[in-house]
Structure 1
Amino acid sequence: MTALLPYTFEEKRKRIFAIVAASSGNLVEWFDFYVYAFCAIYFAPAFFPKSDPTAQLLNTAGVFAAGFLMRPIGGWLFGRIADRHGRKNSMVISVMLMCVGSLMIACLPTYASIGAAAPVLLLLARLLQGLSVGGEYGTTATYMSEVAMRGQRGFLSSFQYVTLIGGQLLAVLVVVILQQFLTEVELKAWGWRIPFVIGAVTAVVALLLRRTLHETTTAESRSNKAAGSVAAIFKHHKKAFFTVLGFTAGGSLIFYTFTTYMQKYLVNSAGMSIKTASLVMTVCLFLYMCMQPVFGALSDRIGRRKNMLLFGGLGALVTVPVLTALQSIASPVAAGALIMLALAIVSFYTSVGGIVKAEMFPPEVRALGVGLSYAVGNAIFGGSAEYVALGLKSIGHESTFYWYVTGMMVLAFLVSLSLPKQAKYLHHDH
């Protein structure tokens, strides 16, 4: 069988370059997406003055819509483009869209100069970013799994989460550096624009890198009648779709619980200072990022199904004890150690999530199947994690949230039981 010939040095080099180029765009996408969250406290007054209730309403409703609605739409749109017109085209368009969104925010006139049009334009830019990031996951996961080498697919695909977390860390880093050099007044006046300019410039670099990629789909699979069709997924791959939705729901929920929500939790529930909590989370995220390739490589040895079962099983056992212990912990080091324990368990999933999903769909609906099921699960369960946690806390039932996360981990475990021992698709080269 020719498919199993060893890779030549040249082939390995090309494939590794493709992984780097694909994931560089992912890094930029997430950097741009998170920069908005970290800079919002500086630019919000410029776009959403307290005196104008409509502007304030646009602020809350808009940020909400950008996070929730645009991701599934992006997952569908870019998944369809990737399956019908090629992975490369989809990845180039998505990073271009992110570039436009960031550039728009960087150059936007404020409320003081153009009135209510300012928050509307900001919202539009944010919606473009949401659309782009919604489309990024499925296509990148698909492309990286298709281009990765046999026997190292888990390891190489794990770099998707390395760059996803890396984007988040870089966004924090840029904001921290700006805080050292600029006063709060300068940051509010113009300094907040700098990270968006950086984001737009790096998006151009990622765009140039992605244009050099070779396409992994065949003309035959792109012209297939079922290519990029939602109807085809529900007709022939319904089980795969709901399986992915099932473990994405649990995976996204626990990921957001121990990453973005954790900082607020350490401040609100454990009583840490904001500065200490930020430091703890930055160190934890950095270590978490470094763990991804290790857990990805592990899946190449023990199989993806075992990775997923360990994730669901251990996640169900550990969530309640860890969150309960964190409530009464005073030492930042002990808190960090507990969070790292939880993130190590999450790594069983995040390191191989993309490839597990990609292995469940045939090439003609792969990007759409992965992108849409992920985006829906992520928007509903991941995106709402903070709201649910804070909502339950406000009515005095904080511990109910711990059990909710645990319940979703049990679901992820049960869904993982139905995973095939051997991947149906993608077990050999194209």
Structure 2
Amino acid sequence: MEEVLNVASSGPLGGRRARAFAGVLLCNALEWYDFAIFGILAFNLSQAFFPNDDPKTSLLATLAVFGITFVARPLGALLLGGLGDSWGRKPALLITAAMMAVGTLLIGLIPSYDSVGILSPILLLLARLLQGLSAGGEWGAASSFLIEWAPQRQRGFWTSFLSLTVALGSGLASAMAAILMTLLPPDDVAAWGWRIPFLLGSALCVVCLWLRNGMDESPVYFNTKIGRGAPLISASRPNLLSCLTAFGVTIHWTVCYYMFLIYLPIFTRSYGQVTPAQSVWSNTICTVVIMILVPVVGWLSDRYGRRPFMLVSCAAVVLLTVPAFRLIAAGASFPQIVAVQVLFGVAIAFYSGTAPAVVAEQFPTSDRSRWSSVSYATAAAVFGGFAPFISVWLTNQFGSLIAPTIYVMTASTVSSLVVLRMRETVRMSLA
């Protein structure tokens, strides 16, 4: 990140570009920390909010809440993404940060089921829906903001940092959970320790709001919507092909993210020869690999195109998923599980380093925030958010630990077909 800030600080836009870059990305990392910690601590949350004699039933209920949250993301994308096109990227980003802070704080403070009964899971669901609205609007506004501030030939590199900060936020969530489980006895984690990451995340969001308040609006947006006297509320309809392309591109991306960074730690904890702490440490190592590789892939995509890296990612997931799940199901050791997650981390990085630019480049400036948000959030809601729930359900339904691999491989195949048919966007100019 230091290198790109140095690049950003050169030239006539200088410090304004660097402040915009830092303000979006540091805050985006905190937003995704807040969103991911729920899935990583799903076991503990299931005990607090859905107590049941059958732990699998409690876990399914918690993962259902995790998935239902994604239903709110397309609505948040439409409303907050539209606000980003009508009022500006900066106001939309401030609102998404505030909503995520409130939702995260509520989860940290909600009494358990033993204290208030059915009201407890209802409040949990409402808090997660608020987070879902925030996450739905965040991605499109942030990706539009970054790609509009980026130099012409560095769009892939700049927007790849959006994926880096998603991995950073998830990595921070994994590391926080790992530290928590390492330092506290299991009974303390179950009783009250799980609340610490949520309360900390909500406090850090205050810093996020302060950073974003100091940003300038993107020059491309200003020139297109304000500088030229264009109406703030666009009446144009979305290009259906662009929306379908962005939707199809996102399927592999979102399924892999939630399968390999949210569900896989649950799977390894249940069936591998690892402790709960080791399962999240392995996940943390995976996210570090993603963070290192994502900007490299983004930089390379500016030179060699987006499509080759995306196709390699899809092919790797199709080929590796079944052997990997079989290895873990056979009782893999901690080093073996780390190796498996690192391989999937490389595959995710190949896609995440290019996909943000590809999705944003499908749309004109006047509608970029709205329809890139809606396309991405809808795919995430339909395919990604329910991936952990579907994986547990498939395992129980078919009595096979490798049943979830069908879901992942199908998603990768669909996205690879979309990537093969779409045009290369690396040399396109922003309009």
Q: Indicate the TM-score class for this superposition, using the shorter chain for normalisation.
A: 0.7 to 0.9
The answer on 1:416 being equivalent to 2:415 is no
CA displacement, residues 68-116 of structure 1 (integer Å, 9 cap, x when unaligned): 3112212222111111111111000000111111233334455566554
Q: Which residue number corresponds to residue 225 of structure 2?
A: 221
Q: Is the 8 A contact 2:305 2:426 kept in 1?
A: no
Q: Which residue number corresponds to residue 370 of structure 1?
A: 372
Q: Which residue number corresponds to residue 143 of structure 2?
A: 141
Amino acid at match of 1:416: V
Q: Which residue number corresponds to residue 301 of structure 2?
A: 299
Q: Which residue number corresponds to residue 104 of structure 2?
A: 102
Structure 2 counterparts to residues 170-249 of structure 1, below 5 A: 170-216=172-218, 217-218=221-222, 220-221=224-225, 227=233, 232-233=237-238, 237-249=239-251
Between the two proteins, the alignment pairs up a number of residues equal to 415
> What's the offset of the Cα at 1:350?
0.8
Q: Is the 8 A contact 2:38 2:66 kept in 1?
A: no
Q: Is the 8 A contact 1:360 1:423 kept in 2?
A: no
Which whole-Å CA distance do the structure 1 matches of 2:322 and 2:115 have between them?
50
Q: Is the 8 A contact 2:247 2:376 kept in 1?
A: yes
Match of 1:22 among 21, 24, 38: 24
Residue 237 of structure 2: SS of its match in structure 1? helix
Amino acid at match of 2:301: S
Q: Is the 8 A contact 2:26 2:165 kept in 1?
A: yes
Q: Is the 8 A contact 1:228 1:368 kept in 2?
A: no
Q: Which residue number corresponds to residue 37 of structure 2?
A: 35
> What's the offset of the Cα at 1:346?
2.2
Which whole-Å CA distance do the structure 2 matches of 1:391 and 1:57 have between them?
11
Cα 1:269/1:187, change in 2 over 3 Å: closer
Which whole-Å CA distance do the structure 2 matches of 1:269 and 1:107 have between them?
32
The answer on 1:266 being equivalent to 2:271 is no
> What's the offset of the Cα at 1:186?
4.5
Q: Which residue number corresponds to residue 124 of structure 2?
A: 122
> What's the offset of the Cα at 1:239?
0.6
Point out the more displaced range, 388-397 or 241-250. Answer: 388-397
Q: Is the 8 A contact 2:171 2:283 kept in 1?
A: no
Amino acid at match of 1:175: A
Give percent identity, aligned residues only: 33
Which whole-Å CA distance do the structure 2 matches of 1:330 and 1:90 have between them?
45
Q: Is the 8 A contact 1:32 1:98 kept in 2?
A: yes
Which whole-Å CA distance do the structure 2 matches of 1:410 and 1:325 have between them?
22
Gaps of 5+ in 2: 1-7
Which whole-Å CA distance do the structure 2 matches of 1:264 and 1:62 have between them?
15
Amino acid at match of 2:240: K
Which whole-Å CA distance do the structure 2 matches of 1:40 and 1:403 have between them?
23
Amino acid at match of 2:345: L
Point out the more displaced range, 239-248 or 64-73. Answer: 64-73
Q: Is the 8 A contact 1:82 1:228 kept in 2?
A: no
> What's the offset of the Cα at 1:27?
1.0
Relative to the length of structure 2, the TM-score reads: 0.84
Cα 1:297/1:330, change in 2 over 3 Å: same
Which whole-Å CA distance do the structure 1 matches of 2:42 and 2:271 have between them?
23
Structure 2 counterparts to residues 242-391 of structure 1, below 5 A: 242-328=244-330, 330-391=332-393
> What's the offset of the Cα at 1:24?
1.3
Cα 1:294/1:247, change in 2 over 3 Å: same
> What's the offset of the Cα at 1:183?
4.5
Point out the more displaced range, 186-195 or 345-354. Answer: 186-195
> What's the offset of the Cα at 1:344?
1.3
Q: Is the 8 A contact 1:359 1:424 kept in 2?
A: no
Point out the more displaced range, 257-266 or 290-299. Answer: 257-266
Which whole-Å CA distance do the structure 2 matches of 1:334 and 1:58 have between them?
27
Cα 1:225/1:396, change in 2 over 3 Å: farther
Q: Which residue number corresponds to residue 405 of structure 2?
A: 402
Q: Which residue number corresponds to residue 3 of structure 1?
A: none
Which whole-Å CA distance do the structure 2 matches of 1:399 and 1:41 have between them?
21
What root-mean-square deviation, in Å, do the aligned CA atoms of Structure 1 and Structure 2 show?
3.2
Q: Is the 8 A contact 1:109 1:118 kept in 2?
A: yes
CA displacement, residues 313-355 of structure 1 (integer Å, 9 cap, x when unaligned): 4443444444445544734323322332232122121112111
CA displacement, residues 124-183 of structure 1 (integer Å, 9 cap, x when unaligned): 222111211122112111111111223222222111122111112212323333445544
Q: Is the 8 A contact 2:9 2:18 kept in 1?
A: no
Relative to the length of structure 1, the TM-score reads: 0.85
Which whole-Å CA distance do the structure 1 matches of 2:404 and 2:62 have between them?
23
Amino acid at match of 1:421: E
Q: Which residue number corresponds to residue 5 of structure 2?
A: none
